[in-house]
């Protein structure tokens, strides 16, 4: 049975077209992906991302459980701070990438869409195995998650709350009353722009908040945004999409997430990562910008002089650059900056250049 | 949502249109199709001289998120392609029945055209 967000009917009225993604029927676009994309880069957009999961982690040793099951040492994450991290299997491959928020004596974790039960069960199993006094509780059904993203996002949300949002710093999180609803706000997002995410429960209050945000942002040009633009926005910033970039089992070293790994603590998968790091010759996620016409897509082969050296995990036309962009895994010998590789699109090679992330710089909107 | 259907054209259930001009047939995608695809950002055209059979892939039209094959409504040889679309693929959105045409074919068998949908029948398929 496909799940729907509690905002489905409202979104339908707003002209959304829907797709099924990870078991959820969610808006893919309202007006057009390009238009929605540029709206977020230049002003502000409102996303419903309720397909993402919500898991409470509670108990005396909640920090211990998070530290054991992620590459982050949770003891180092202050109250009212959130952290991007990854949950690994023993062999070092990623089960899911996630954010957890430190909210007083408990933590809320936001696993990806469809990962709620897998992550909850994994955490509880590890708590039992390692005798850690903490538990994970899947509360995904209770929450609507909204993302307000873009340079005008703070200005939009500030109209709906007495809390000075300038005090909610990057990756900050806290309880807040916004639009007369108590919820959790975090200065996080998946677009590379200034942005905030709201966890709202009970979910029936979300429709009211959704409408209030649209009203508050009206004069700033706010638009509702679908998952289509969410994907192009994240890809221009080289952010990972779990279903694509971890497909088939990838470690955080391969996914170029080594910056998230806190090596000074023990965690499930650490030994395997240390071995891989020492060996060194593993494939790494690589960003490619097409230098000729063509749009790379998931599954396209990457070649060098006719020899297969990797595969595209995500590809699209970049609405900001108007060129094809892709991420894929390549052997380290071929991924030096400015190297020219070929992406095979419908049997034909299209030249692409290795670039350092992100494809679209932070100040793109000011310059364009 | 725009859904214009022109009376002087023939249609397929897969949303291509065909306009007969003597022995040549101009082919494109319908207003309904372009509106469903939105944001056409890339068109891959066949080479002139290529022979295609009815129902075979004629070209590829890509939106930001989707790749759609366009099928040939009839058999024939490609006599001309709208190569302006290589630089301005959005023309297919803006003018699906005029400037946004895709391919011109030399018609092999005119009876194939008779079996295509007329405007009224096509209108019914898009409801």
Give the count of alpha carbons within 13 A of A99, CB side only. Answer: 18
- The domain A55-139 belongs to what CATH superfamily? Aminomethyltransferase beta-barrel domains (3.30.70.1400)
Rounded Cα distance between A353 and A337, Å, is 8
Domain assignment present for B124: no
Q: Do the chains contact at B67 and A294, CB–CB below 8 Å? A: no
Closest partner residue to A29 among B38, B41, B62, by Cβ?
B38
Q: Do the chains contact at B38 and A294, CB–CB below 8 Å? A: no
pLDDT digits (tens, 9 = 90+) for A117-141: 999 999 999 999 999 999 999 999 9
CB-based burial label for B12 (10 Å; 0-12, 13-18, 19+)? buried
Nearest to A343 by CA among A283, A302, A304, A311: A302
CATH class of this structure's domain A238-357:
mainly beta
Give the Cβ contact number of residue A129 at 10 Å.
Answer: 10
Nearest to A100 by CA among A132, A69, A142: A69
pLDDT digits (tens, 9 = 90+) for B52-109: 999 999 999 999 989 999 999 999 999 999 999 999 999 999 999 999 999 999 999 9
Contacts of A35 in chain B (CB under 8 A): 39
Domain assignment present for B2: no
CB pairs under 8 A between A and B: 36
Domain assignment present for B121: no
Closest partner residue to A228 among B41, B60, B65, by Cβ?
B65
d(CA B39, nearest CA chain A) in Å: 7
Q: From the candidates A241, A317, A344, which should be mutated to test the interface with B, based on the most B CB atoms within 10 A?
A: A317
B60 to chain A, any CB pair closer than 8 A? The answer is: yes
Q: In what order do the strands lie in the sheet with B67-71?
A: B40-44, B57-63, B67-71
Contacts of A316 in chain B (CB under 8 A): 64-65
pLDDT digits (tens, 9 = 90+) for A304-333: 999 999 999 999 999 999 999 999 999 999
Residue B62: closest CA among chain A residues belongs to which residue?
Answer: A295
3-state SS, residue A127: helix
- Tally of domains in chain B: 1
A298 to chain B, any CB pair closer than 8 A? The answer is: no
Domains in chain A: boundaries: 3-50+143-235, 55-139, 238-357
Contacts of A295 in chain B (CB under 8 A): 41-42, 62, 67
Give the CATH number of the domain where residue B84 resides: 2.40.50.100
Rounded Cα distance between A94 and A235, Å, is 19
**What is the token pair recorded at B72?**
């040939």
Domain enclosing residue B102, as ranges = 10-108
Is the pTM higher than 0.90? The answer reads yes
Element (H, E) at A17: strand A17-21
Q: From the candidates B36, B42, B60, B65, which should be mutated to test the interface with A, based on the most A CB atoms within 10 A?
A: B65
Nearest to A255 by CA among A339, A304, A328: A328
Nearest to B72 by CA among B57, B83, B62: B57
B86 to chain A, any CB pair closer than 8 A? The answer is: yes
pLDDT value at residue B1: 62
Rounded to 5 degrees, φ, ψ at A63 are -60, -40
d(CA B19, nearest CA chain A) in Å: 28
Which CATH code is given to the segment(s) A3-50+143-235?
3.30.1360.120
pLDDT digits (tens), chain A, 368 positions: 899 999 999 999 999 999 999 999 999 999 999 999 999 999 999 999 999 999 999 999 999 999 999 999 999 999 999 999 999 999 999 999 999 999 999 999 999 999 999 999 999 999 999 999 999 999 999 999 999 999 999 999 999 999 999 999 999 999 999 999 999 999 999 999 999 999 999 888 999 999 999 999 999 999 999 999 999 999 999 999 999 999 999 999 999 999 999 999 999 999 999 999 999 999 999 999 999 999 999 999 999 999 999 999 999 999 999 999 999 999 999 999 999 999 999 999 999 999 999 999 998 998 88
């Amino acid at each position: 049975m496909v799940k729907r967000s509690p905002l489905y009917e409202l979104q339908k009225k707003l002209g959304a077209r829907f797709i099924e993604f990870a078991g959820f029927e969610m808006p893919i676009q309202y007006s057009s992906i390009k238009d929605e994309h540029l709206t977020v880069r230049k002003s502000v957009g409102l996303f419903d991302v309720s397909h993402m999961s919500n898991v409470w982690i509670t108990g005396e040793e909640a920090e211990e459980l998070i530290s054991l099951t992620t590459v982050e040492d949770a003891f180092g994450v202050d109250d009212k701070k959130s952290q991007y991290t990854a949950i690994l299997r023993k062999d070092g491959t990623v089960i899911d990438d996630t954010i957890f928020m430190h909210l007083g004596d408990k933590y809320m974790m936001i696993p990806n869409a469809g990962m709620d039960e897998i992550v909850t069960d994994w955490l509880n199993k590890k708590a039992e195995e390692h005798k850690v006094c903490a538990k994970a509780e899947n509360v995904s059904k209770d929450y609507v998650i909204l993302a307000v993203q873009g340079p005008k996002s703070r200005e939009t949300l500030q109209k709906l709350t007495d809390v000075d949002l300038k005090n909610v710093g990057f990756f900050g999180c806290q309880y807040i009353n916004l639009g007369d609803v108590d919820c959790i706000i975090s200065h996080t997002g998946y677009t590379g722009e200034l942005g905030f995410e709201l966890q709202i429960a009970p979910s029936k209050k979300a429709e009211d908040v959704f409408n209030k945000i649209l009203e508050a942002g009206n004069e700033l040009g706010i638009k509702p945004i679908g998952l289509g633009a969410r994907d192009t926005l994240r890809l221009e910033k080289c952010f990972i999409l779990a279903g694509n970039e971890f497909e088939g089992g990838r470690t955080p070293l391969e996914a170029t997430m080594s910056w998230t790994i806190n090596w000074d603590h023990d965690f499930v998968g650490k030994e395997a990562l240390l071995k891989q790091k020492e060996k060194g010759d593993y494939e790494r996620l690589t960003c490619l910008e097409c230098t000729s016409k063509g749009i790379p897509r998931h599954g396209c082969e990457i070649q060098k002089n006719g020899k297969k050296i990797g595969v595209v995990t995500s590809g699209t036309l970049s609405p900001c650059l108007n060129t094809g962009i892709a991420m894929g895994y390549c052997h380290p010998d071929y991924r030096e900056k400015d190297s020219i590789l070929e992406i095979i699109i419908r049997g034909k090679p299209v030249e692409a250049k290795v670039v350092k992330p992100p494809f679209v710089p932070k100040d793109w909107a000011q310059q364009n | 949502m725009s859904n214009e259907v022109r009376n002087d054209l023939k249609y397929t259930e897969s949303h291509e249109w065909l306009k007969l001009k003597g022995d040549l047939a101009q082919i494109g995608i319908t207003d309904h199709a372009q509106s469903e695809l939105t944001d056409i950002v890339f068109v891959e055209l066949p080479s002139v001289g290529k022979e295609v059979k009815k129902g075979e892939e004629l070209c590829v039209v890509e939106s930001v998120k989707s790749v759609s094959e366009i099928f040939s409504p009839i058999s024939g040889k490609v006599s001309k392609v709208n190569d302006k679309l290589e630089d301005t693929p959005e023309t297919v959105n803006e003018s699906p029945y005029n400037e946004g045409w895709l391919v011109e074919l030399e018609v092999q068998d005119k009876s194939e055209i008779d079996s295509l949908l007329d405007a009224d029948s096509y209108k019914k398929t898009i409801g």
